[in-house]
Amino acid sequence: MTSKTVHDDLTVVICGSQGQGIQTVEQTLTRALHDAGFHVFSTKEYMSRIRGGAASTMIRITAKPVAACVDRIDLLVPMDWGAVPRLGKRIARRTVILGDRDALKPDRDIVDVPFLRLAVESGGKLYANIVAVGAVLGLIRAPLDPLIKILGARYAAKGKDVVEKNRTAAGKGYEAGMALAGKGLIDTVVRKSGDMPAMPLLSGGEAVAFGAIAGGCRFMASYPMSPSTSVLVNLAAWSRAFGLVVEQAEDEIAAVNMALGASYAGARAMVTTSGGGFALMTEGLSLAAMIETPVVVHLGQRPGPATGLPTRTEQADLELALYAGHGEFPRVLYAPGSLRQAFELTRRAFDVADRYQIPAFVLTDQFFMDSYTATEPFDLSGTDDGPCIVRTNAAYKRFKLTAGGVSPRGVPGWGEGLVRVDSDEHTEEGLITEDLTLRVRMVDKRLGKAYRLAREAVRPERIGRPDAKTLVVCWGSNRSVVKEAVEAVGDRSVAVLHFSQVYPLWSGAGALLKKAHSVVAVENNATGQFCRLVQRETGFGVDKKILKYSGLPFTVEEVAAGIRRHMKGRAS
């Protein structure tokens, strides 16, 4: 084992079997580091089971904001040796492995810290995880006080005795870590950021939930399905504070129809689900289109088909969201790549859905939903949470033919008019019709919204020089990993083009792509779904792709290697 100096970027991986409290270690350690003034990013990978198997959490401690995975492991803390083989090639000779030799019985040399003995001295074996957290903080010379405060707040409801035992365990682990730090095992030079404690530490799921509240969400229905469930859980926890009705439905069919009922009554409504659950909602999606009732769909992507890998990540539901539902009707698809975008685009989804009376999608994935990092406080200015409804009169026509395609939307009980909606083709008043001439006019009215939607499309974000010869195109959660990979490549002729709205595309997208000498696309799917959409919409074909569909997110190293490979091909 060799010593290693890490400048401004330390990667810690905690691994074990599920049921060992790996998530508790992640949340406690990440929060303590954040409150101590470090930039942190954490993400997890775990199996679809309650106990057993293997789970790991990666925490990057850095001097500047990051939100991407790396292959490198600087410090490995195994709570169960059986989980170590899954990390495979990521464990290098320079990796420092910190653990309890007596408990782990490892087959290689490790730095021994008696987690179990120190836990028993503190009050019991169950405090071993807190000993480990303290040891990591001590080893990297981070302050202990933030952890002590966190433990007090976290366990206050369990009484002073539990709080003190946790604090004692943290202190013993910290002393052991500091003793190792004094030996120069890991010499970190990670600089702090003084404003970190003022920046909220959030997961992608929390950012989406906050965006829903800012967008005026008043009703949410869902059937739990990873990785979308965190939005349901967070909105349920905040429901009283913000005046929301949150319903756990018996299935996804019920959930989407409940949301449409709430929207029909005037509430801004949302569903959150994943691919398999959304498949059950597609008839409701068509119903929303026909009755022109707004609804926001949060779709947390994971690998399919069928149950697939339910706790892993993928970007393979783009075409599902794009083409789901029978018939032709407009929709809008957002795909945030940062916590700020998740907040702003979810809020925007409610506004656009309401103004155009259409379904609006927010596409995320397991990696984005389950990752934590700090962000600048969200900007609440310009928030408009009022539904776009009108007071009806006796002559009210729910589906009045208008030049822009948007009919005045009334709700039952507000005004003199009768608010009729029908899943069949209908007249302006909402009565069933088989007048084929009127049918054409109604279809044209609904599709006419698409032209206005396209004019409001979010422009893709360009990161890098405007005259860059190579554009690396990505969408959704790959923004941060592609940005960092391009920085690692270190070639100023390479820039990033990130799409946070994937449909309708911004009208100038084709011109940007055609101007570049070379375009490389990065997608977490097997077939390049976004590339197909780009070609359909702009006529530009992307033939250089970096694709990954193992269920794991991209790492900086593999994206950087892919970019270099394609650049080498360009040069030759």
15 band by pLDDT with thresholds 50, 70 and 90: very high
Across the chain, what does the average pLDDT equal?
A: 93
pLDDT digits (tens, 9 = 90+) for 343-354: 999 999 999 999
Distance CA 14, CA 565 (A): 32
Domains 4-198 and 461-571 share a fold: no
What is the CATH number that goes with domain 205-374?
3.40.50.970
CA pair distance 20, 199, nearest whole angstrom:
30
Q: Rounded to an integer, what distance in angstroms lies between the CA atom of residue 227 and that of residue 302? A: 7
Give the single-character DSSP code of 80.
Answer: S
pLDDT value of residue 572: 41
Q: Which residues pair with 96 in a beta bridge?
A: 75
Q: Say yes or no to pLDDT of 102 above 70.
A: yes
pLDDT attached to residue 317: 98
% of residues, the chain, pLDDT over 90: 86
pLDDT band at 383 (very low <50, low <70, confident <90, very high): low
Tokens of 254: 């019920």
Class of domain 4-198: alpha beta
Average pLDDT over residues 518-537: 98
Q: What is the mean pLDDT of residues 144-153?
A: 96
How far apart CA 531 and CA 179 sit, in angstroms, is: 53
Q: How far apart are CA 525 and CA 551, in angstroms?
A: 9
Residue spans per domain, the chain: 4-198, 205-374, 389-456, 461-571
pLDDT, one tens digit per residue, over 390-407 is: 999 999 999 999 988 999
Task: Give the per-residue pLDDT at 384.
Answer: 61
C-alpha–C-alpha distance, residues 145 and 32, integer Å:
9
Mean pLDDT of 502-523: 97
Share of the chain above pLDDT 70, in %: 97
Of residues 332, 321, 228, the one with CA closest to residue 282: 321
Classified by CATH at the fold level, domain 461-571 comes out as: Rossmann fold (3.40.50)
pLDDT at 144 over 80: yes
User: What's the pLDDT tens digit per position in 446-458?
Assistant: 999 999 999 999 9
CA distances 66 to 179, 227, 327, 365, Å, are 29, 22, 42, 18
